[in-house]
Chain A
Amino acid sequence: MTPGKHSRLEDQRFITGQGRYISDVNLPKQTYAYFLRSDRPHAEIRSINAKAALARPGVLAVLTGEDAIAAGFKPMPIFLMVKGRGGAELIKPPRPALAQGKVRFVGDQVALIIAESPAAAQDAAEYVEIDYRDLPPSTTPAAAIKPGAAQIWDIAPNNLLFDYEMGDAEKVEAAFKAAAKVARINLHNTRVVANPMEPRACIATFDNAQDKYTFYSVTQGIGGLRMQLSAAMGVPEEKIDVVAWDVGGGFGVRFNAYPEYMALLMAAKKLGRPVKWVASRTETLLADENSRGVDSTSEVAFDAHGKILATRFSFLCDIGAYCVPVGAFINTGGIFGQLTSVYDIPVSYARSRLAVTNTAPIGAYRGAGRPLMSYAMERVMDEGARITGIDRIEIRRRNLVPTNKFPYKAYHGKVWDSGDFVGLLDHAVKASDWHGFAARKADSTKQGKLRGLGIACYIEETGGGFAPHDEVELRFGSNGELAMYAVSHNHGQGHETAFAEIIAKVMGIARESIVLKNGAPESPRLVGNATGGSRTLHGAGSVMFQGAKEIVEKGKELAAQELEVAAADVEFADGAYRIKGTDRKITMRDLIDKHKGKANHPLNVKTKLTIGSTYPNGCHIVEVEVEPATGVTEIVKYSATDDIGNIINHQMVEGQLHGGIVQGVGQIFGEHAQYDAETGQPLTGTFMDYYMPRSNALKGMQLFDHPVPTKSNPLGAKGAGEAGNTGSLPALMGAIVDALRSAGVEHFEMPATPARVWGALQAAKAGKPAAFAPAQA
């Protein structure tokens, strides 16, 4: 891949400090909010006394859960389409705007203080007196579901919200009985925090005259946020405007509404003044949606030739103290959408149990369930290779869906429409010089280092979308510039450039004349999906493509009038309408400009499409080197071969893969949101304690394309946003385990911090090769 020639259209403002993030904006008469959060993991609230706080200088109001009840607010919505075992419904713990009766994790918002300055609000929080009665906390799902654990929710016996299954348990059991070999592995996928670099920030306003709220916020899509706010506040959507500008990253945790948002809107209405809130990093770590935190067990039954007869998985998922809108979805459908992965598997069974704990709620993060499945599958494939003695490449190749079987209907009902898994694997093996590994390992050994090689094949179902379709509107402005409107919000992916390039190519006009009006107040109300699930390019992007084609079609009639011929005699190519067989033409640009300034430009279009999922897939191969004396592990070679269909902008796709892969590197090597099991206190409340990958995270990275365009959308594109993360986790961990095995470690689990790697090596020396193995899920 070579770097693209063109800079992104949005870059200019970011590199000159002219980006507009919510925290940069101030509204007249604005007030400032501070959330007083629970400092204990599990407690009854006996009383709250805000008198002293209210008497502090500059303090305007202190709101609590009582106020939210009085405002008639409802619990936050929770989305889940499926039923659990035996037809059971998901238990939905009601999440209020501000805590009511109980706090359930350190960081739970208890009171909202509004003052004339941020400092005054924060100072006053010290004066709110809360009388708590402490209850024992559970900080992991395994602890929460143990008999005798304190009940976090009365409505959730044994702290379980949902028990979900898929597949045929009996047939799978029979296959396991008949198996020549069974591979089995227990895994733990650590709890991490997405940590967009911009902490949450919002301004809530209420217009009394119009009886209308406006919410300026960080979001991945205004439509979904508005819908969720409307549901939770009991206010019709027409009464809420959501405005968003530049958003400093999302990764899944800017998709849902948060309870703080309702509290801020409530305060704005009460005070009749705008209320601004800018979260701290500590609030991001404690009270943003956290992610993952899953124990799992994977089992594969092989026949005598290493062919898979059946697979069986069990996941025990941490939901946190409350179930966020997508919390149940990502830990059921989000994982199981890829149940059989890239393999041709005749029968499978999987179960997922969702438990509440006294920790920050769990939401979506880069992959939203998919990396859990790829991790569970690929780690057990390595185990399969080990117990059968078949090479790791070979055991995969024997089981991959053969290329002549596409479209392939997987056991769990999903249809992989296109792909070339075997060809892609061969490409990846060659590109990574897999077979040259032994020589490189010998070199490392000479230097006293342990070298390991890891491989992961993956597939993922990109978001089908929660909205019935994606709608876009294209409107020409007074200067002839084209304004694009869509629901999907740009928060780093480069929508402004990608959409403009798609349209520019169809219409033959300069991409600089096409502007995305994302989340602007004057935007038309459109139906569509937020940015998420790696679907914007082939979702909204496909509709942009269609919209541009509709403009070209519409323009034919107008061009014919200009050229004084019948429309049938006009053809369009290279940005101009020509009279067929002649040189007489009018360019698209001229045609647009002829009509510019009109209130309703005749070429304006509004259009929509229903676009479903795509199935990007790939193979990542990694080499690491471990320094046994210190446990420090370095990635020395990373090659990713991916099929993400047709590529619109290479540079931006690479950027998405880099970002996704390095988030995987972060998780594998150290990111870990931790709570003290006894006290329930978070141990990683700042960037001093929470490890984040830095600029040396990934060296020696090479990306390769192996595209098989999909016919499921007009662009032929497949999602790229999460692929990197989905491939990286198992590949990286596989490489580390491979390195450690050569020193006698039998099992090792993330995070591969120097201390843990060193510890595992020491334990192996002391005759405990499985000291770092997780328990069964």
Chain B
Amino acid sequence: MAKVAMKVNGKQMSGDVEDRTLLVDFIRDTLALTGTHIGCDTSQCGACTIQLNGRAVKSCTMLAAQAEGADIMTIEGLAQGDKLHPVQQAFTECHALQCGFCTPGMIMASVGLLKDTPKPTDEEIYHGLEGNLCRCTGYINIVKAVKRASQLMAG
């Protein structure tokens, strides 16, 4: 067992974990932030995507201990109070979600993508979301939503 501490959604958090505990399990089980999902065992689906030190990261690809001291944002920390983040706003406007299971990861990945590429082309969106799977939407509205979010963010 080891003690880990990190900043999550602006708050200092800590907990005891087994050495082998994945960051995603720490977030879900210890911190009870269950908006971050688990959809695979091999880091392919992106349902677990969070922001770690400002970058979109799959939280199943690292150990909780590796995030010691990190600054993390999960889907729960994205909106400012009642005010949705433009990516959240665009996802609902464009009907970019159905069952909602991939959605937190998709949104966090899109936030990361738009940070690097504020005005993405279709190809750049395909590339940026390569690591995120959705089984419901056929992605068409997700791609639309990323573009819409880009517009919203440009103001």
Contacts and interface: CB of A to CB of B under 8 A. Distances in A.
Interface stretch (B51-59, B63-71, B133-141): B133-141
A449 B97 CA distance: 35
B8 interface: no
Contacts of A661: 138
Contacts of B139: 658, 662, 693-698
- Residue among B20, B34, B100 with the most chain A CB within 10 A? B100
A24 B34 contact: yes
Interface of B (DSSP majority class): loop
Nearest to A687: B44
Given A16-B75, A249-B101, A11 B91 contact: yes
Interface string A688-700: 1000111111110
Contacts, number: 187
Interface in B88-130: 88, 91-95, 97-104, 107, 122-123, 125-126, 129-130
B47 interface: yes
Contacts of B129: 694-695
Contacts of B34: 17, 20-21, 23-24
A680 B135 CA distance: 28
Given A658-B140, A659-B137, A695-B125, A686 B44 contact: yes
B95 A651 contact: yes
B135 A196 contact: yes
B92 A659 contact: no
Given A249-B99, A281-B39, A652-B95, A15 B138 contact: no
Interface string A1-37: 0011001101111111111110110000000000000
B100 A248 contact: yes
Contacts of A491: 99
Given A197-B134, A197-B135, A280 B41 contact: yes
Contact of A696 (B18, B44, B126, B141): B126
B99 A248 contact: yes
A655 interface: yes
Contact of B39 (A119, A198, A282, A697): A198
Interface residues of A, number: 61
A197 B76 contact: no
B79 interface: yes
- Residue among A17, A24, A493, A687 with the most chain B CB within 10 A? A17
Given A281-B45, A692-B133, A696-B126, A15 B37 contact: no
A199 B40 CA distance: 8
Contacts of B100: 10-11, 13-15, 19, 246, 248, 492
B23 interface: no
Contacts of A3: 93-95
A202 to B, nearest CB: 15
15 contacts: A7-B93, A14-B103, A16-B79, A17-B76, A20-B34, A21-B37, A197-B47, A247-B99, A249-B135, A493-B98, A658-B137, A665-B138, A694-B129, A695-B129, A697-B138
Interface of A: 3-4, 7-8, 10-21, 23-24, 119, 194-199, 246-249, 251, 278, 280-282, 491-494, 651-652, 654-655, 658-663, 665, 686-688, 692-699, 701
Minimum-distance CB pairs A-B, first 5: A17-B35, A248-B101, A14-B100, A492-B99, A662-B138
